[in-house]
Structure 1
């Protein structure tokens, strides 16, 4: 399982820890990933995703998972999230 957010695409960053004596030590900066269960209103079911805490705040701010996925670009979404976005779009098109 990769350390990548399924909604925003945020992943591991690499950099240096710099000491007071200016010694550099390689380090990895890991994203704050959490396992959450989000509810899709249009599909009427819950979805388990591994996303960052920042993405969880963004989902709540935009008004839920359905509206977040509608505004998100496909480039940063994972394969599971893209399938979910397509499924929600088909469901809303059939209802309209």
Structure 2
């Protein structure tokens, strides 16, 4: 299981541990990943994703999973998130056709 956020693409970074004596050793900064279940309003389905805490706050700020995926770039999304984005777009297109 990779340590990469499925919605933002945020992954591990590298840096240094710096001691009081100014010795430097390499270390990794891991993203704060959480397993969450998000519900799509347009499809009515729940999706289990592994996303960072900052991505979860952004999803809440933008108004839910549907709006977040609509505004996000395809390059940042994981293959699973891209599949969810296409399902949501497809369901919103069919809903628009039914209303017309």
Given the two structures, how large is their TM-score scaled by the length of structure 2? Answer: 0.94
d(CA) in 1 for partners of 2:10 and 2:48? 18
Unaligned runs of 5+ in 2: none
Aligned residues: 96
Q: Provide the secondary structure at the position in 2 that maps to 1:76.
A: coil
Q: What is the CA deviation profile of residues 33-73 of structure 1, one whole-angstrom value per residue up to 9, with x for unaligned ones?
A: 00000000001011000000000000000000000000000
Consecutive aligned runs of 4 or more in structure 1 exceeding 3 Å deviation: none
Secondary structure of 1:10's aligned partner: coil
Gaps of 5+ in 1: none
Pairs within 5 Å for 1:14-25: 14-25=14-25
SS of 1:88's partner is: helix
Equivalences for residues 1-96 of structure 1 within 5 A: 1-96=1-96
